């Protein structure tokens, strides 16, 4: 709410008090919808009333959306104009949001998206904790969150067609091209060694399905002299 001009801490407190959610965590969609509709009735000042009403309607729309991609698109229609007025690095933030949209399109539920994103340390957190760590740790990160960071040894996983690039985007040029750019971001995070990994069996569909995973079309043209192939057989 504080992204809206003329809304500060005091106004936010008044709004929360009006909604009756001061310390109470709200979980159910039905309750959230009621709160957002109640927000529309808040006696707002003319200076910010229009923006507050618009934000409330966006929240209601997001609750009606089925997928994280649709929810994020609804939120960004409200957020992008504010972004231009609030920040100097608009282009960088805009690219980050585009990457986030690409990621969100892969998920069917917000819960799954949030679970995966929660694995990611932010850049600030990673830098803050780095000196305290020993040498025997592994950092899990999405490509999006890896921007600006580097590691000596990097493994890019799920480099198989249908996953990277996603099967959803192979017929859509813009999204397909964006997937290629994301791979470029991933590969340039390695300082010493870069490894690409893909499974011999699709563990999500099982070994009984027709066909086996194939190397990503992004990597397939690279000759073995540049990108040697190896396989690990387990019992």
Task: Locate the domains of the chain by residue range.
Answer: 9-117, 128-235
Question: CB 145: neighbour CB atoms within 10 A?
Answer: 22
pLDDT in tens, 177-213: 778 888 888 899 999 999 999 887 765 554 444 557 8
Phi, psi dihedral angles at 9 (to 5 degrees): -60, -45
Total length of the chain: 235
Residue of 90, 16, 10, 2 whose CA lies nearest to 48? 2
pLDDT band at 156 (very low <50, low <70, confident <90, very high): very high
pLDDT in tens, 1-12: 888 888 888 988
pLDDT in tens, 88-122: 777 778 877 887 888 888 888 888 887 766 654 54
Mean pLDDT across the stretch 68-95?
A: 84
- Determine the pLDDT at residue 203: 57
Distance CA 229, CA 233 (A): 13
Distance CA 165, CA 74 (A): 25
- Determine the pLDDT at residue 19: 80
CATH class of 128-235: alpha beta
The answer to whether the beta carbons of residues 231 and 208 sit under 8 Å apart is no
Distance CA 74, CA 72 (A): 5
Which residue did the predictor score with more confidence, 72 or 233? 72
Residue of 81, 19, 11 whose CA lies nearest to 49? 11
Question: Is 0.75 surpassed by the pTM of this model?
Answer: no
């Amino acid at each position: 709410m504080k992204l809206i001009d003329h809304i500060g801490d005091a106004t936010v407190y008044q709004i929360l008090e009006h909604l009756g959610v001061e310390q109470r965590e709200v979980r159910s969609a039905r309750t959230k919808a009621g709160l957002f509709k109640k927000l529309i009735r808040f006696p707002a000042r003319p200076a910010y009333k229009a923006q507050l009403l618009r934000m409330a309607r966006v929240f209601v729309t997001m609750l009606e959306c089925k997928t994280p991609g649709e929810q994020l698109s609804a939120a960004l229609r409200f957020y992008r104009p504010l972004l231009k007025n609030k920040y100097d690095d608009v282009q960088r933030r805009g690219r980050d949001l585009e990457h986030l949209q690409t990621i969100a399109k892969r998920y069917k539920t917000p819960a799954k998206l949030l679970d995966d994103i929660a694995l990611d340390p932010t850049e600030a957190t990673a830098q803050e904790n780095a000196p305290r760590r020993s040498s025997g740790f592994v950092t899990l990160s999405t490509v999006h969150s890896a921007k600006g960071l580097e590691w000596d040894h990097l493994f890019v996983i799920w480099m198989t067609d249908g996953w990277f690039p996603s099967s959803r985007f192979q017929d859509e040029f813009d999204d397909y091209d964006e997937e290629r750019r994301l791979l470029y971001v991933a590969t340039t995070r390695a300082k010493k060694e870069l490894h690409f990994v893909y499974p011999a069996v699709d563990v999500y569909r099982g070994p009984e399905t027709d066909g086996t995973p194939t190397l990503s079309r992004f990597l397939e043209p690279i000759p073995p002299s540049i990108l040697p192939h190896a396989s690990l057989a387990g019992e």
